[in-house]
Amino acid sequence: MLKAAIFKKLPNFAVEAELAIDQGILVLFGPSGSGKTTILNCLAGLQKPTSGQISLGDRLFFDSARNVNIPARLRRIGYVFQDYALFPHMTVKNNTLYGMPSSAMLAKKNAGNANALAEILAMLRISHLRDRYPAQLSGGEKQRVALARALMMEPDLLLLDEPLSALDADTRCALQQELKKIQRIRNIPFVLVTHSKKELDALADTVVFLNNGKVATPAAQKIPLGWATGQWA
């Protein structure tokens, strides 16, 4: 189970939230600037919370009281960035293999990695693209490659920062179904950021509503009415 109590003080803003999820997809939902990506970065180890605690199962990633802060590279957390963050000089194959934890592991497990690569590319229906470069890919194809790279490391948690926001409606709908299928197959928690009500309805098993850096409750009218009516979809 992922458990997190995060307080992050920024120059003109503070983020404070508690999360808990065992399996399924937890959606961080709210308008731009509400602190969603900051929470992802704290979970990943890319930003250090001002205070709090983050754990996954029996592994403690961060505890301000005990001065624990495990580096991002040791957390086994996959991260799909909003802009895909693919290397333009690498093929689909090499971008995906870059998700391996280390070059040493890659050298030790060549046969196993080849099988894992083939399996992941086939699952995401991009095997035929393995020798292409990012400039030769559509938005949906780039997103699948970014997801493949994150899965290649066999993560215990997958973070996705607005992964579908730049896609057309048909591609977005198809990838929503693929994300749900992959989560069931991998059986690990996903934490996904969106400000789209449609994505929330399609993907969420658990929802954390955020507004101005705080967890909000729609029923208590602590968030804009537009969230309930889907104005940001």
Q: Note the pLDDT tens digit of each residue in 176-205.
A: 888 999 999 999 999 999 988 888 989 999
pLDDT tens across 51-84, in order? 999 999 999 999 999 999 999 999 999 999 988 8
Contact (Cβ atoms closer than 8 angstroms) between residue 214 and residue 14: no
Rounded to whole angstroms, the Cα distance separating 131 from 106 reads 19
* Bigger pLDDT: 33 vs 4: 4
- Output the pLDDT for position 217: 65
Q: Give the closest residue to 24 by CA, choosing from 49, 2, 6.
A: 2
Give the amino acid at 54.
Answer: I
Q: Who's near 126: CB < 8 A, 6+ residues apart?
A: 92, 141, 144, 145, 148
Phi-psi category of residue 24: left, alpha or beta, with phi > 0 → left and psi -120 to 50 → alpha: left
Other residues' Cβ atoms within 10 Å of the Cβ of residue 141: 19
* Bigger pLDDT: 26 vs 222: 26
- Output the pLDDT for position 42: 98
- Output the pLDDT for position 62: 98
- Edge-first strand order for the sheet with 157-161 is 68-69, 59-63, 51-56, 2-10, 13-21, 214-216, 206-211, 25-29, 190-194, 157-161, 77-80
Give the amino acid at 215.
Answer: V
Structural domain boundaries in the chain: 1-76+156-233, 90-154
pLDDT tens across 109-141, in order? 555 567 888 989 998 889 999 999 999 999 889
- Does the structure show a pLDDT above 70 at 230? no
Structure tokens at 216: 């909000």
Mean pLDDT in residue range 30-40: 92
- Output the pLDDT for position 222: 37
Residue 166 pLDDT class (50, 70, 90 cuts): confident
Rounded to whole angstroms, the Cα distance separating 75 from 52 reads 17
- Output the pLDDT for position 52: 98
- Output the pLDDT for position 218: 55
SS (H, E, C) 20-36: EECCCEEEEECCCCCCH
CATH number given to 1-76+156-233: 3.40.50.300
- Output the pLDDT for position 113: 66
Q: Give the closest residue to 163 by CA, choosing from 190, 130, 129.
A: 190
